[in-house]
């Protein structure tokens, strides 16, 4: 549906409005399409980031997907304040990002187009740098780096930094199929002539439309340029309520799983029918490493009904993926995938707590040829035995550092303050530890300063040890300039010169505890909070935040150095006394 102009003195459009008499502003170089739905508070930030670009010859098209809050009024006020802003409103909500983007493309006037979501921003020179790359060489689109900002912590990182580390022009996705990992439509500036020539528009009526759109753009482009400069600011709210979370953060809904698999099948069909089947293994690897991996990290927190529904949705699709894509994955990820495909869902949930970490199973099984396999019972079929075979990992006779141990917290008690009292249950499924009591250490190292507590662990079953620990993270020594960050306790086992260090898996949930102690022997003051890790493996998480004099002095630490800061701390400590 094409929008028609409305409003008196500024260029603003709505799908059902009358034609305005005001002449349009001069033709822009770039159209920035801003899509919005019920986001009146953040829309001005997004639009102003576009209007503040160092390259000012642009237009902003606000495409409102029939918001029911104050968004329409905010959009009209933004259009009234700057002649470069146009707003349109869809007559009904489309439920996705595709329709508002496509309707905006119908009225966009510039030879180059970008897309911006209402909850994100553009860096000030994004348009200038992307446009300069277009003008330096004729290409179908230019892509840059994406800076991610965690709304809850303020921490920043780059999205897929290895893919945009160097400036280059790629002549066909077959040259670098790993770029399929960078599937965002918002990190790119497209030549409008390319979009029209390829007939490329966003697929409507589906979620994860960026993945299909970007796969098509990569395959249909004759050439595209990559620049290492940040061109997009992506705000991440990982713990937003389901109703307000972005589609990618609604992984707790089985409909979300179905949507993601549906778009993957559409991509597969496009690759095969379009003559790009050669890159299918790379695309399959991307799905396993990125898309499935996100769901796998959530498995420890899912209930049985969800796990069953998830397996029913994902297993038929997993069976269609290229074997070489599986072969590239780390062993821990292959184990989770295989357990899901085999319907061993409780074991899959348990194995998922070790993704990316040196965490072993509770139990193993052996066959008549001496192979050792993850979990019980013995896997059936060649494919299952191949994926669950641990024999080549050096776990039975290799160094202690390669052994398989699993440490879990039981019977946790908290308080006073940040004191934790619990039992560490250690699983030694391959019987690498001698029979009898062992000395283990629970360790933590904030700011490079090690704090450890030794404890005795005794055998309670074959291959199972238990030991009681009292652990207070607030006693951890901290550097004089203070420390701000997160650490997770680890369990350390030693035999002669051998050493094994592995994470401590805490309860999936327990009430956070905190204290604001003065560190022992100094005036370094911090707030210390102990809580379960919010996602993934659910390790015990300890967070430090400078408080009192430490919070005041910490910003000076980098400029003054530790010795000056130490003298300042002594002065403040004396004054406080």
Q: What is the DSSP string of 493-550?
A: EEETTEEEEEEEE--S----EEE-PBPTTSS-BEEEEEEE-SSTT-BEEEEEEE-HHH
Question: Residues 60, 208: one domain?
Answer: yes
**Confidence at residue 193, expressed as pLDDT on a 0 to 100 scale:** 98
What CA–CA distance (Å, rounded) separates 277 from 289?
19
Question: Residues 30, 174: one domain?
Answer: yes
pLDDT at 327 over 70: yes
**Confidence at residue 244, expressed as pLDDT on a 0 to 100 scale:** 47
Token look-up 């001698």 returns: 434
Record the pTM.
0.86
Q: For residue 258, tell me if it sits in a domain.
A: no
Question: Residues 171, 309: one domain?
Answer: no
**Confidence at residue 152, expressed as pLDDT on a 0 to 100 scale:** 85
Asked if residue 198 lies in contact with residue 218, where contact means CB atoms within 8 angstroms, the answer is: no
Kindly give the residue spans of alpha helices, DSSP state H, lying in 244-381.
254-273, 280-286, 293-298, 304-318, 323-327, 331-341, 345-351
- In this prediction, residue 571 has a pLDDT band, given cuts at 50, 70 and 90, of low
Q: Which of 393, 422, 437 is the last residue of a domain?
A: 393
What CA–CA distance (Å, rounded) separates 43 from 61?
12
**Confidence at residue 311, expressed as pLDDT on a 0 to 100 scale:** 98
Condensed to tens digits (0 to 9), the pLDDT of residues 206-234 reads 999 999 999 999 999 999 999 999 999 99
CATH number at residue 52: 3.90.550.10
When pLDDT is averaged across residues 555-576 and rounded to a whole number, the result is: 50
Question: Residues 92, 222: one domain?
Answer: yes
The mean pLDDT of the chain is 89
- In this prediction, residue 18 has a pLDDT band, given cuts at 50, 70 and 90, of very low
Q: For residue 474, tell me if it sits in a domain.
A: yes
**Confidence at residue 574, expressed as pLDDT on a 0 to 100 scale:** 54
Question: Residues 410, 532: one domain?
Answer: yes
Condensed to tens digits (0 to 9), the pLDDT of residues 31-55 reads 999 999 999 999 999 999 999 999 9
**For a pLDDT cut of 70, what percent of the chain falls above it?**
87
**For a pLDDT cut of 90, what percent of the chain falls above it?**
78
**Confidence at residue 576, expressed as pLDDT on a 0 to 100 scale:** 44
**Confidence at residue 577, expressed as pLDDT on a 0 to 100 scale:** 46
**Confidence at residue 397, expressed as pLDDT on a 0 to 100 scale:** 77
- Taking Cα atoms as reference points, which of 507, 494, 512, 431 lies closest to residue 464? 431
Question: Residues 353, 219: one domain?
Answer: no
pLDDT at 322 over 80: yes
- In this prediction, residue 550 has a pLDDT band, given cuts at 50, 70 and 90, of low
Question: Residues 436, 503: one domain?
Answer: yes
Question: Residues 223, 321: one domain?
Answer: no
pLDDT at 67 over 90: yes
How many domains is the chain partitioned into structurally? Answer: 3
Question: Residues 234, 126: one domain?
Answer: yes
- In this prediction, residue 62 has a pLDDT band, given cuts at 50, 70 and 90, of very high
Coil, strand or helix at 471: strand
Range(s) of the domain holding residue 90:
4-239
- In this prediction, residue 548 has a pLDDT band, given cuts at 50, 70 and 90, of confident
Question: Residues 314, 433: one domain?
Answer: no
- In this prediction, residue 250 has a pLDDT band, given cuts at 50, 70 and 90, of confident
**Confidence at residue 321, expressed as pLDDT on a 0 to 100 scale:** 97
What CA–CA distance (Å, rounded) separates 115 from 146?
13
């Amino acid at each position: 549906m094409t929008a028609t102009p409305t409003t008196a003195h500024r260029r603003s459009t709505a799908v059902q409005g009358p034609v305005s008499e005001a002449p349009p502003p001069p033709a822009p170089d770039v159209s920035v399409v801003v899509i919005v739905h019920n986001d009146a508070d953040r829309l001005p930030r997004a639009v102003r980031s576009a209007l503040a670009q160092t390259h000012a010859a642009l237009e902003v098209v606000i495409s409102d997907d029939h918001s029911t809050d104050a968004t329409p009024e905010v959009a009209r006020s933004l259009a009234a304040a700057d002649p470069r802003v146009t707003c349109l409103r869809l007559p009904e909500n489309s439920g996705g990002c595709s329709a508002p983007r496509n309707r905006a493309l119908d009225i966009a006037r510039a030879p180059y187009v970008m897309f911006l979501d209402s909850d994100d921003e553009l860096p000030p020179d994004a348009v200038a740098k992307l446009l300069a790359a277009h003008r330096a060489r004729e290409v179908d689109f230019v892509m840059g780096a994406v800076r991610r900002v965690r709304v809850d912590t303020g921490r920043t990182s780059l999205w897929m930094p290895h893919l945009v580390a160097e400036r280059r022009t790629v002549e066909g996705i077959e040259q670098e199929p790993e770029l399929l990992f960078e599937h965002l439509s918002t990190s790119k500036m497209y030549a409008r002539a390319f979009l029209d020539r390829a007939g490329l528009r966003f697929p409507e009526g589906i979620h994860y439309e960026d993945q299909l759109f970007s796969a098509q753009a990569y395959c249909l482009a004759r050439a595209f340029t990559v620049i290492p400069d940040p061109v997009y600011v992506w705000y991440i709210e990982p713990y937003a309520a389901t109703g307000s979370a972005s589609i990618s953060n609604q992984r707790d809904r089985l409909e979300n799983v179905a949507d993601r698999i549906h778009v993957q099948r559409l991509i597969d069909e496009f690759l095969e029918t379009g003559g790009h089947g050669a890159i299918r293994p790379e695309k399959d690897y991307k799905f396993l490493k990125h898309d499935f991996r996100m769901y796998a990290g959530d498995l420890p927190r899912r209930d049985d009904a969800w796990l069953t529904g998830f397996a029913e949705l994902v297993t038929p699709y997993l069976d269609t993926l290229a074997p070489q894509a599986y072969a590239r994955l780390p062993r821990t990820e292959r184990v989770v995938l295989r357990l899901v495909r085999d319907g061993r869902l409780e074991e899959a949930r348990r194995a998922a707590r070790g993704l990316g970490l040196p965490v072993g199973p509770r139990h193993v099984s052996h066959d008549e040829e001496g192979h050792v396999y993850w979990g019980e019972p013995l896997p059936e079929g060649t494919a299952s035995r191949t994926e669950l075979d641990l024999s080549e990992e050096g776990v039975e006779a290799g160094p202690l550092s390669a052994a398989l141990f699993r440490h879990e917290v039981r019977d946790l008690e908290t308080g006073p303050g940040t004191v934790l009292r619990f039992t560490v249950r250690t699983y030694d499924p391959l019987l690498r530890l001698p029979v009898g009591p062992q000395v283990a250490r629970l360790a933590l190292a904030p700011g490079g300063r090690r704090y450890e507590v030794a404890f005795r662990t005794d055998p309670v079953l074959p291959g199972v040890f238990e030991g009681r620990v009292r652990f207070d993270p607030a006693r951890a020594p901290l550097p004089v300039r203070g420390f701000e960050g997160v650490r997770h306790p680890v369990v350390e086992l030693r035999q002669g010169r051998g050493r094994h260090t592995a994470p401590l898996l805490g309860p999936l949930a327990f009430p956070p505890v905190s204290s604001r102690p003065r560190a022992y022997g100094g005036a370094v003051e911090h707030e210390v909070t102990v809580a379960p890790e919010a996602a993934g493996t659910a390790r015990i998480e300890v967070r430090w935040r400078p408080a009192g004099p430490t919070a005041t002095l910490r910003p000076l630490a980098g400029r003054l150095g530790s010795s000056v800061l130490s003298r300042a701390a002594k002065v403040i400590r004396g004054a406080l006394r």
